[in-house]
Amino acid sequence: MIPYGRQTITEADVAAVVDVLRSPFLTQGPAVCKFEESVSDHCGAAHGVAMSSATAALHVACIALGLGNGDILWTVPNTFVASANCARYCGAEVDFVDIDETRNISVPALEAKLQNALTNGRLPKIVIPVAFSGLSCDMQAIRRLADEYGFKVLEDASHAIGARHAGHPVGCGRWADITVFSFHPVKIVTTGEGGLAVTNDAELAERMVRLRSHGITRDPALMDSVPEGSWVYEMQELGWNYRMTDIQAALGASQFQRLNEVVDRRNALARRYSQLLAGSGVVLPTFPVEEGSLSSWHLYAIGWNEACSGITRASAYRLLQDKGIGVNVHYMPVHLQPYYRRLGFASGMYPIAEAYSATALTLPLFPQLTESEQNHVVEAVLSIASR
């Protein structure tokens, strides 16, 4: 089976992890600091805060941005459930904004919904745009709306480390208040499990550092009382244990050295898919058009064309799986998950996301996918794409 995604682990990665196992630190220590610096330097952001997962990073980022009971967070249906769940952890409500043909948040839909929310006094405190498949959202437009309507921008760039937007790395902090990356093994860079938040705001970074470790500070400058000795720590607020380990960070830092190489390879494979599948009837994914923009191509997701092929997406999925091709679906709309249906969401509410999702098929894409494996995938798709 050719999987839809797979990590690449080199001997250098293995050696970096073994070095940590022989060092005095296993949990958060010098390797975490070094990894945070590598990521924030790459992004051109002032601060990086590593955590146990992107889910943890989204949670802590929401708290740092002030989300709580009675507040509302908006995101898109075309994402992983974690982009919405982070609001629920904080006791806040979730609402969704439909996507456009790029499969990212629709700026006109966002603007229309904001105008409505302004009239009925239900403006969101946070909007989470998701850089689906590694393609940045229109961050300049989202920033403009954030300034106009007074919400915070928490960018879910779980797919998009190494991507660029309008001449800047995703995570640069020009447009988002906080950007979150995931290092799950299917993503661009892995730490096993892991996530990281970048921001240019020192206070937000300090708060996230405290929240990932029980709400505890050991910095005398941040304490209520003058400490009696260096053993003293203060728990300033309720936090969690969301720390990344040095074992994970060493793997991440080693992987990170190959970031450009990996993103180039993913781009080459994505371009090749689009060339080989052009004219086949399937809907091809969007390449960035803006000058200075680059997708990280976490996913290569096509739209299955039932009219042209005469077979349903579900049949195409099964036929391709039977040929050893690990196709997948990204994503089932979040608002149609039973948990969110029970909160009042229903089909028909976000028609573009629902229509896209019903046709979505993710083809295998990872750096070690060979051209001959890719040819095998393409031939299998072409053999059923049109009648």
Ligand X SMILES: *Cc1c(COP(=O)(O)O)cnc(C)c1O
User: What residues make contact with ligand X under the rule CB under 6 A?
Assistant: 53-55, 79-80, 82-83, 130, 156, 158-159, 182, 184, 195
* Integer Cα distance of 142 and 337 in angstroms: 27
Minimum CB distance to ligand X, residue 320 (Å): 22
Q: In what order do the strands lie in the sheet with 195-199?
A: 47-51, 195-199, 178-182, 152-156, 126-127, 72-75, 93-96
**Residue written as tokens 């009837």?**
281
Residues in the chain, total: 387
Q: Which is nearer to ligand X, 282 or 299 (CB)?
A: 299
Minimum CB distance to ligand X, residue 192 (Å): 10
* Integer Cα distance of 62 and 152 in angstroms: 9
* Integer Cα distance of 387 and 383 in angstroms: 9
Minimum CB distance to ligand X, residue 18 (Å): 24
DSSP secondary structure letter of residue 121: T
* 47-51 and 300-303 strand pairing: unpaired
Q: Which is nearer to ligand X, 82 or 380 (CB)?
A: 82
Minimum CB distance to ligand X, residue 58 (Å): 7
Query: Could you tell me the sign of the dihedral formed by the alpha carbons of 206, 210, 215, 220, in that order?
Result: negative
Question: Taking a C-beta distance cutoff of 8 angstroms, is the pair 340, 94 a contact?
Answer: yes
Minimum CB distance to ligand X, residue 291 (Å): 26
DSSP SS3 for 96? strand
Q: Which is nearer to ligand X, 305 or 364 (CB)?
A: 364
Minimum CB distance to ligand X, residue 310 (Å): 32
* Integer Cα distance of 387 and 367 in angstroms: 32
Q: Which is nearer to ligand X, 85 or 200 (CB)?
A: 85
Minimum CB distance to ligand X, residue 158 (Å): 3
Instruction: Please tell me whether the peptide bond between 331 and the residue prior to it is cis, using omega within 30 degrees of 0.
Output: yes
* Integer Cα distance of 241 and 31 in angstroms: 18
Q: Which is nearer to ligand X, 142 or 385 (CB)?
A: 142
Minimum CB distance to ligand X, residue 322 (Å): 27
Question: Taking a C-beta distance cutoff of 8 angstroms, is the pair 153, 129 a contact?
Answer: yes
CA distances from 197 to 63, 170, 340 (A): 13, 12, 26
Q: Which is nearer to ligand X, 125 or 159 (CB)?
A: 159
Q: Which is nearer to ligand X, 160 or 172 (CB)?
A: 160
Q: Which is nearer to ligand X, 55 or 136 (CB)?
A: 55
